[in-house]
Amino acid sequence: MAFLHTLPSTLFLFFFISFSTINAQPSPSYYPSKIFKPLAFHYGFQNLWGAQHQHVHHGQVSIWLDRNSGSGFKSTRPFRNGYFGASIKLQPGYTAGVITAFYLSNNQAHPGFHDEVDIEFLGTTPGNPYTLQTNVYVRGSGDGRVIGREMKFHLWFDPTSAFHHYAIIWNPDEIIFLVDDVPIRRYQKKSAATFPIRPMWVYGSIWDASSWATDDGRYPADYRYEPFIARYTNFIIHGCSAYASLRCRPVRSSIYGSGLGPNQNLAMRWAQRNFLVYDYCKDFKRDHSLTPECNWP
């Protein structure tokens, strides 16, 4: 009888501990966001479009989307590798159809045939989580030959309640996506044909992607809830610009140099086991002859 009496509280404790363990962010033991110094927005970036929808104040940049326009900014220099990060706070409430992005691209230099490395937040409806989409494009654009390499995640925190740091490490051999220094994805160079090698600029933007952003376009942007605001701060750019000497060394992705350390690998497996919601390599409806890296070890 005593066992039966204590069973409910024991089960509650078990589920509470299990839930807490799942949602407890592991330590990667390597914190590049703490190593590199932030730079002022005006030092490293410039407005790209929608200047009237952009506001800079005390190191924080707000950009917003309404029925008239979105907004975007761009780094003043292109880079051939580096660490690129920003702390971002997203809009709460109804944000379906809205994309908030932080990414690398050379679209303006190579229109129709560009490279791109994306961190994109796909807007949502109240009560449902944001989706963080990571993507890699290699020499392709809106010409019918787009080959996306999407991996999508939900987050282990509310990205609308506080700033969190999102970053890309791009080295000659790999691309690593990080959330608060936790690696969530490692995209390795398997061949020159599947890896971006040309210089790219750093961008941030907010825009209307009603046709696909939320549940494949089922929920479009609703401008009764405008403006949709994205806030950025703690910008970090540390790497080799396109104009740097060839002696410029790529940023380390771990304490070992390239690759991930043991704790980083454990943290990445935790993130993918608990929060990964889509992996292009595991989508059997896709033609993987176009993404040969999915078939390589």
Cα–Cα dist 232/59, whole Å = 9
SS3 state of residue 192: helix
User: What does each C-alpha distance from 181 to 84, 169, 270, 273 come to in angstroms?
Assistant: 12, 11, 13, 17
Distance in angstroms (rounded) separating the CA atoms of residues 112 and 101: 20
Cα 223 to Cα 97: distance, rounded to the nearest angstrom: 10
Answer whether 185's CB lies under 8 Å from 274's CB: no
Q: What is the DSSP string of 148-159?
A: ---EEE--SS-T
The single residue of 120, 174, 226, 293 carrying the catalytic annotation is: 120
First-to-last alpha carbon distance for the chain, in angstroms, is 55
Catalytic site residue 293?
no
Strands 131-137 and 151-153: antiparallel
The answer to whether residues 153 and 268 touch, using CB atoms and an 8 Å cutoff, is: no
Of the residues 116, 150, 226, 293, only one is catalytic, namely: 116
Q: How far is 286 from 289, CA to CA, in rounded Å?
A: 9
Q: Is residue 116 among the annotated active site residues? A: yes
The answer to whether the beta carbons of residues 141 and 112 sit under 8 Å apart is yes
How wide is the angle at C-alpha 41 spanned by C-alphas 36 and 43, nearest 5°? 80
Instruction: Catalogue the active-site residues.
Output: 116, 120
